[in-house]
Amino acid sequence: MTKPLIVVNFKAYGEVCGEAGLGLARACEEIGKETGTSIVSCPQMVDLALVAQSIRAPVWSQSSDAVSPGGRTGHTTVKAIKGAGATGTLVNHSESRKLLFDIEDIVKRCREEGIVSCVCTNNIRTSIAAAALGPDFVAVEPPELIGGDVSVTSADPEIVSNAVEGVKAIDRKVNVLCGAGVKNSADVAKAIELGARGVLLASGVVKAKDPRSVLRDLASAL
């Protein structure tokens, strides 16, 4: 069974451009080791190889394109993500919405290259649809709660439990993460109770005054 995960999405926040991004990734690695939990960093796209080659904890890409390697300026292939040393990628997101056909294609490429795919979704129906594409994870995040102060686990617990139920009915091997507004150990504990295998969060860590203490608190629930 998959060990529960805390996935930290650095997004395009100004707070983690340049050296600060590597610093946050090191904090994720350190607290993961200290607490014996799996904390995944998703640094900014341009920092991916640098971060992946500087820490041992898992690093995922924030995005990927549905193309083969070749003459394609500005595109990020799954092969390039793997070559950079990352072990997974987010696929689709309310802030990085992808074509249905491209999500299917990227998930397949991840399977072929042996890297983890985590499709982010916005409601129960899209979570079930995503599960049909066979990713490793589906991360459900109601867009109206993303970046806010109220955790999805309090504001809309049924979206999590129903997404878990719907996803598992399609494919038991797909695990569900939940996100949007996740801030502390109570939110993580509740997510696990609702059937999620972990959480996906961003601002709660990235914009925290002391990310280490937030990460330590989050990890304490696993």
| Residues in 73-132 that interact with a copy of itself by CB under 8 A | 73-77, 79-86, 90, 92-104, 120-123, 125-126, 128-132
Active-site option among 93, 104, 113, 165: 93
We find the least distance from the C-beta atom of residue 129 to a copy of itself, in angstroms, to be 4
Does 7 interact with a copy of itself (rule: CB under 8 A)? Answer: no
145 neighbors 152 (Cβ within 8 angstroms):
yes
Does 170 interact with a copy of itself (rule: CB under 8 A)? Answer: yes
Among 49, 155, 189, 208, binds a copy of itself (CB under 8 A): 49
Parallel/antiparallel/unpaired status of strands 198-201 and 60-61: unpaired
Our CB check for a copy of itself shows the closer of 179 and 221 to be 179
Our CB check for a copy of itself shows the closer of 60 and 222 to be 60
Distance CA 114, CA 190 (A): 31
40 neighbors 20 (Cβ within 8 angstroms):
no
- Cβ burial, residue 91 (10 Å; 0-12/13-18/19+): buried
Does 162 interact with a copy of itself (rule: CB under 8 A)? Answer: no
Our CB check for a copy of itself shows the closer of 1 and 209 to be 209
Distance CA 181, CA 141 (A): 9
Annotated catalytic, 75? no
H or E, element range at 176: strand 175-179
Nearest 5°: phi and psi at 15?
-65, -20
Binding pattern for the stretch 181-210 against a copy of itself, x by CB under 8 A and - elsewhere: ---------------------xx-------
Active site residues: 93, 141
